């Protein structure tokens, strides 16, 4: 059989498996590993079209909230401001906001991260494994390129917790996703120079994320980020159709990316501490390996569906009435991964 026919047969098999798996998810809310793998395979075989089609279906099933008050860390996004920003992001795959986190908030988050024990990427065995024991980050004694806080540690920081419920972020995510967003992932980590070791595991080689059908991440720089201490690198416009030559899963070299897209599309996103960036990481991206210094980054992901990879839920306690109101009003957004403890 020639390659074309082989691909057609593969497509039929993966399409069936995806269709069956997605229908099962819609009935039961459960996503099987087999269906998740079929989504990834279909994404590659159709160079993205399969995900775009599913997203169109989801738009009808999860119509936008009409009552969000779009005010928060991104400013006041009413009067069409979010739509214009989302349109720019639709073109480029990322958006750098003018608004930044306040110095006080950045300072408090930095202090929390400097004093709270964290796991670290353990390179002593293969795979992307984090240590079970936690240590307080010490940049003078590097033992890993990446130190990642547990979800429990993230929700224990009042300032990070606040950001999870920020209504300007929710509003922007809804504008970009075109439907009710789901908060599906949070991450908070330090990066350090580590002589090129663990680059793949630390997401420092180009790749695309594909845990969900459609998703976007907010990045918050908590330290100043320049070309030497790990800017987020993004290939402008690469969130659209996947080029034939790059239609596979895995990690990609800078050269491979440059051949397809050209150097001028490869953007290094530097920024002062407090910077806020939205990124559609279905496009090619990486964290640049650090040459010196350190980077502290907080990240929140919103998706259009929980279909795909499974993550464990996070137990939370809500003290403030405002957060309680938001949580219950937008339970479809916050209730998927955040579970009220002691209920
Ligand atoms: O460290 C970065 O800038 C990118 C990390 C990454 O690949 C991701 O968050 O999906
Ligand atoms: Fe990534």
User: What is the structure's pLDDT at 200?
Assistant: 86
Closest Cα to atom 1 of ligand 1: 287
Q: Does 203 reside within a domain?
A: yes
Asked if pLDDT for residue 147 goes beyond 90, the answer is yes
User: What is the structure's pLDDT at 116?
Assistant: 98
User: What is the structure's pLDDT at 343?
Assistant: 64
Q: Determine the straight-line distance between the first and last CA of the chain, rounded to whole angstroms.
A: 58
CA 282/CA 285 separation, integer angstroms: 8
Closest ligand 1 atom to Cα of 286: 4
What are 263-313's pLDDT values in tens digits?
999 999 999 999 999 999 999 999 999 999 999 999 999 999 999 998 899
Q: Does 24 reside within a domain?
A: no
User: What is the structure's pLDDT at 199?
Assistant: 85
- C-alpha of residue 236 to centroid of ligand 2, in Å: 15
User: What is the structure's pLDDT at 1?
Assistant: 64
Q: Up-side HSE of residue 80: CA atoms within 13 Å toward CB?
A: 1
- The mean pLDDT of 105-129, rounded to a whole number, is 93
Asked if pLDDT for residue 118 goes beyond 90, the answer is yes
Q: Does 269 reside within a domain?
A: yes
Which ligand places an atom closest to the C-alpha of 202? 1
Work out the pLDDT band at 202, boundaries 50, 70, 90.
confident
CB of 281 shorter than 6 A to ligand 1? yes
- The mean pLDDT of 6-15, rounded to a whole number, is 91
- Contact 149/113 with Cβ under 8 angstroms? yes
Q: Does 261 reside within a domain?
A: yes
What are 276-287's pLDDT values in tens digits?
999 999 999 999
Asked if pLDDT for residue 2 goes beyond 90, the answer is no
- pTM of the predicted model, to two decimals? 0.96
- C-alpha of residue 285 to centroid of ligand 1, in Å: 7
The total number of structural domains in the chain stands at 1
Which ligand places an atom closest to the C-alpha of 203? 1
Work out the pLDDT band at 213, boundaries 50, 70, 90.
very high
- Contact 277/95 with Cβ under 8 angstroms? yes
Task: Tokens for 17, please give them.
Answer: 């498996």
CB of 285 shorter than 6 A to ligand 1? yes
Which ligand places an atom closest to the C-alpha of 232? 1
User: What is the structure's pLDDT at 10?
Assistant: 87
User: What is the structure's pLDDT at 127?
Assistant: 74
User: What is the structure's pLDDT at 83?
Assistant: 95
User: What is the structure's pLDDT at 304?
Assistant: 98
Work out the pLDDT band at 196, boundaries 50, 70, 90.
confident
Task: Tokens for 251, please give them.
Answer: 């990690």
Task: Tokens for 343, please give them.
Answer: 């209920």
What are 236-263's pLDDT values in tens digits?
999 999 999 999 999 999 999 999 999 9
Q: Pick 78 or 126 by higher pLDDT.
A: 78
Q: Does 35 reside within a domain?
A: no
Q: Pick 6 or 224 by higher pLDDT.
A: 224
Asked if pLDDT for residue 342 goes beyond 70, the answer is no
CA 210/CA 343 separation, integer angstroms: 33
Least confident range from 43-52, 118-127, 180-189, 235-244: namely 118-127
User: What is the structure's pLDDT at 311?
Assistant: 87
Q: Does 59 reside within a domain?
A: no
CB of 199 shorter than 6 A to ligand 1? no
CB of 40 shorter than 6 A to ligand 1? no
Range of the domain at 321: 66-340
- C-alpha of residue 272 to centroid of ligand 2, in Å: 21
What are 53-101's pLDDT values in tens digits?
999 999 999 999 999 999 999 999 997 899 999 999 999 999 999 999 9
> Rounded to whole angstroms, what are the CA distances from 174 to 48, 65, 188?
21, 8, 23
CA 239/CA 282 separation, integer angstroms: 5
Asked if pLDDT for residue 119 goes beyond 70, the answer is yes
- C-alpha of residue 57 to centroid of ligand 1, in Å: 28
Q: Does 141 reside within a domain?
A: yes
Average pLDDT of the chain is 95
Strand 232-235 with 215-221, pairing: unpaired
CB of 232 shorter than 6 A to ligand 1? yes
Closest ligand 1 atom to Cα of 189: 1
CA 206/CA 89 separation, integer angstroms: 20
Q: Does 40 reside within a domain?
A: no
Closest ligand 1 atom to Cα of 217: 9
The set of residues, in sequence order, having a beta carbon less than 8 Å from that of 12 and lying 6+ positions away, is none
Q: Up-side HSE of residue 301: CA atoms within 13 Å toward CB?
A: 23
CA 230/CA 293 separation, integer angstroms: 9
- C-alpha of residue 78 to centroid of ligand 2, in Å: 30
Q: Of the candidates 238, 236, 178, 186, which has an alpha carbon nearest to the alpha carbon of residue 208? A: 238
- C-alpha of residue 268 to centroid of ligand 1, in Å: 12
- The mean pLDDT of 188-211, rounded to a whole number, is 92
- C-alpha of residue 205 to centroid of ligand 2, in Å: 9
Which ligand places an atom closest to the C-alpha of 268? 1
| CATH code, domain with 206 | 2.60.120.620
């Amino acid at each position: 059989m020639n390659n074309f026919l082989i691909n057609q047969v593969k497509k039929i098999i993966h399409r069936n498996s995806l269709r069956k798996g997605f229908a099962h998810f819609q009935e039961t809310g459960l996503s099987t590993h087999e269906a998740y793998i079929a989504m990834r395979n279909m994404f590659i075989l159709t160079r993205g079209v399969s995900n775009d089609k599913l997203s169109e279906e989801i738009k009808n099933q999860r119509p936008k909230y009409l009552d969000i008050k779009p005010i928060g860390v991104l400013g006041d996004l009413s009067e069409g401001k979010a739509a214009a920003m989302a349109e720019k992001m639709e073109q480029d795959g990322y958006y750098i906001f003018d608004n930044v986190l306040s110095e006080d908030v950045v300072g408090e988050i930095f202090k929390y991260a400097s004093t709270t024990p964290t796991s670290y990427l353990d390179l002593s065995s293969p795979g992307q494994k984090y240590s079970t024991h936690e240590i307080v980050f010490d940049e003078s004694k590097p033992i890993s390129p990446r130190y990642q806080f547990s979800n429990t540690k993230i929700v224990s920081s009042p300032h990070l917790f606040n950001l999870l419920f920020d209504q300007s972020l929710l509003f922007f995510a809804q504008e970009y996703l075109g439907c009710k967003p789901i908060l599906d992932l949070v991450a908070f980590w330090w990066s350090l120079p580590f002589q090129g070791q663990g680059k793949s595991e630390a997401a420092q080689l180009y790749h695309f994320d594909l845990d969900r059908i459609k998703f976007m991440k907010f990045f918050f720089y908590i330290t100043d980020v320049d070309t030497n201490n790990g800017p987020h690198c993004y290939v402008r416009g690469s969130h659209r159709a996947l080029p034939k030559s790059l239609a596979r899963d895995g990690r990609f070299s800078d050269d491979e990316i440059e051949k397809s897209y050209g150097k001028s599309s490869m953007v290094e996103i530097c920024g002062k501490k407090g910077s806020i960036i939205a990124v559609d990481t279905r496009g090619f991206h990486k964290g640049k390996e650090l040459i010196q210094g350190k980077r502290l980054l907080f990240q929140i992901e919103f998706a259009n569906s929980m279909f795909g990879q499974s993550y464990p839920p996070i137990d939370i306690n809500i003290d403030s009435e405002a957060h309680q109101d938001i949580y219950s009003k937008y339970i479809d957004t916050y209730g998927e991964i955040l579970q009220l403890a002691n209920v």
